[in-house]
A and B are shown apart, each in its own frame.
Chain A
Amino acid sequence: EPALSKGNNCLDAAKACNLNDTCKKFRSAYITPCTSSTSNEICNKRKCHKALRLFFDKVPPKHSYGMLFCSCRDTACTERRRQTIVPVCSYEDKEKPNCLNLQDSCKKNYICRSRLADFFTNCQPESRSISSCLKENYADCLLAYSGLIGTVMTPNYIDSNSLSVAPWCDCSNSGNDIEECLKFLTFFQDNTCLKNAIQAFGNGTDVTVW
């Protein structure tokens, strides 16, 4: 195994992207707005989100998922994976809103509303199924998850040693809705269907689906 541990799948995916004209073009097309600071902001978040949606719409999953769902053995790799969506612009914000408030603002937007619904449908965990997914379809779950990138519900990896993901929100100040809020957040953070789907793509174990 030591020879394998030297590999960095996320770096390999980035290399492969830049050797492919389509992936290279749409990657630069989101890196540019997501890293350009404006007079009083880190970036134009709206333009960054739009270009990220375009990247996942136009680039074949082989390349886009390759960078987003690469499997890692060290922090150099996981940090690169976390940087894929340029979180300082697309993800982080000055304040962390309550997740239920974030869900409300998502529901006011047509794209966000429908993609969030897809995510809850296609990544629904089911402990009794072999895949851990109610729908038994990893590709649909990953498509729904990546579809949220570029909406106000943009998710990202929350730490460097697990596949836990979350949108930029928490459940403080939930009042009576604390259980509903935690249920929502847990669907992202502790979702065995989504984790297995990411792992299967990263390991190339579910190749027939792609």
Chain B
Amino acid sequence: KGRRGQKGKNRGCVLTEIHLNVTDLDLGYETKEELIFRYCSGSCDAAETTYDKIIKNLTRKKKLVNDKVRQACCRPIAYDDDLSFLDDNLVYHILKKHSAKRCGCV
């Protein structure tokens, strides 16, 4: 129950997709093949755990001024299936963990 409540608060963090050429990724491949790239975006402002609340409170009270303590970030918590493509020199390549499948505030 609690978990669902927390998830609801961070409705801002969502999976978004964009249709790209493989060359748009700038990974050094020469090919005309394409892909759907999925990424995580949105805010994780609503504190997820007691830990996050404490960090927020301590930061506000300037007790952690010297440390860069990060708040939760909207990041992939699972990756999409591998992507394979044939390049212009007829060599196959495989991209792993290149695209998000699920997002979370972690």
Q: How many residues of B contact A (CB 8 A)?
A: 15
| Interface-side segment among B5-13, B48-56, B80-88 | B80-88
Given contacts A11-B33, A80-B90, contact A31 B19 (CB under 8 A): no
Whole-angstrom CA separation of A27 from B90 in the bound complex:
16
Whole-angstrom CA separation of A86 from B93 in the bound complex:
12
Tell whether, in the assembled complex, residue B81 and residue A25 are in contact, meaning their CB atoms are under 8 Å apart. Answer: yes
From A8, A19, A35, contact of B94 by CB (8 A) = A35
- By a CB distance below 8 angstroms, the chain A residues around B33 are 11, 14-15, 18
- By a CB distance below 8 angstroms, the chain A residues around B30 are none
Mark out the residues of chain B between 84 and 102 whose CB falls within 8 Å of any chain A CB in the assembled complex.
84-86, 90, 92, 94
Whole-angstrom CA separation of A160 from B43 in the bound complex:
53
A83 at the binding interface (Cβ < 8 Å): yes
Tell whether, in the assembled complex, residue A35 and residue B92 are in contact, meaning their CB atoms are under 8 Å apart. Answer: yes
- By a CB distance below 8 angstroms, the chain B residues around A34 are 92
A101 at the binding interface (Cβ < 8 Å): no
Shortest distance from the beta carbon of A182 to any chain B beta carbon, whole Å = 31
Nearest B residue to A76 via CB reads B88
- By a CB distance below 8 angstroms, the chain B residues around A25 are 81-82
Tell whether, in the assembled complex, residue A28 and residue B86 are in contact, meaning their CB atoms are under 8 Å apart. Answer: no
Tell whether, in the assembled complex, residue A28 and residue B83 are in contact, meaning their CB atoms are under 8 Å apart. Answer: yes
Given contacts A14-B33, A15-B33, contact A79 B90 (CB under 8 A): yes
Shortest distance from the beta carbon of B86 to any chain A beta carbon, whole Å = 6
Whole-angstrom CA separation of A79 from B35 in the bound complex:
21
Given contacts A19-B19, A19-B36, A31-B94, contact A14 B86 (CB under 8 A): yes
Nearest B residue to A86 via CB reads B92
A-B contact pairs, 26 of them (CB 8 A): A8-B32, A14-B33, A15-B34, A18-B33, A18-B34, A18-B35, A18-B36, A18-B84, A19-B19, A19-B34, A19-B35, A19-B36, A24-B81, A25-B82, A28-B81, A28-B83, A31-B84, A31-B92, A31-B94, A32-B82, A32-B94, A34-B92, A35-B94, A80-B86, A83-B90, A83-B92
Which residues does B use to contact A, with CB under 8 Å? Answer: 19, 32-36, 81-86, 90, 92, 94
